[in-house]
Amino acid sequence: MISSWITHSRQTVDLGVLPADTYIMRVLCHVTEAFNSGGTDEVTVGNDLDPDAIVTTVDVSSTGIKSLTLGVNAGYNSAGQQLKLFYSNGGGEPTAGAALFLFETAKVPTTPV
């Protein structure tokens, strides 16, 4: 399992490399402190080339356990990929906000050739 916090003071979080032949089964998000930019407060999960490859936009402007939509790279990954959490605001810089992300993954056999 991979897990990390994203906060108002730590707005991009590098989670490291997801190894090749890994299946992303589920991603969970619990916002424990609402982000308060005064505009839209959103988090995506992906990489530098595709910031929402794993999880599309999550509204983090209110507390609670969030429903997530998985992106195009969720599921089986034949190649390793960098994972990052990205916060974006539609207002000023937030002075509050914290969300915990958990990734349930499994190492699977390599695709047969």
Task: Annotate 41-82 with DSSP letters as a single string.
Answer: EEEEEE-SS-TTSSEEEEE-SS-EEPP--B-TT-EEESS-EE
State which residues form the domain around 31: 2-107
**Using only C-alpha atoms, what is the Rg of the chain?**
14
> CA 94 to CA 47: how far, in whole Å?
23
Q: Is residue 112 part of a domain?
A: no
- In angstroms, the CA 35 to CA 110 distance is 40
- On whether residue 113 sits in a domain, the answer given is no
Encode pLDDT of 7-16 as tens digits: 999 999 999 9
Examine residue 19 and state whether it is found in any structural domain, yes or no.
yes
Total domain count, the chain: 1
30 falls within a domain = yes
Query: How would residue 110 be classed by pLDDT, with cut points 50, 70 and 90?
Result: confident
Indicate which CATH number applies to the domain containing 24.
Answer: 2.60.120
Whether the model clears a pTM of 0.95, i.e. scores above it, the answer is no
- Find the farthest-apart pair of alpha carbons in the chain and give their distance in angstroms, rounded: 51
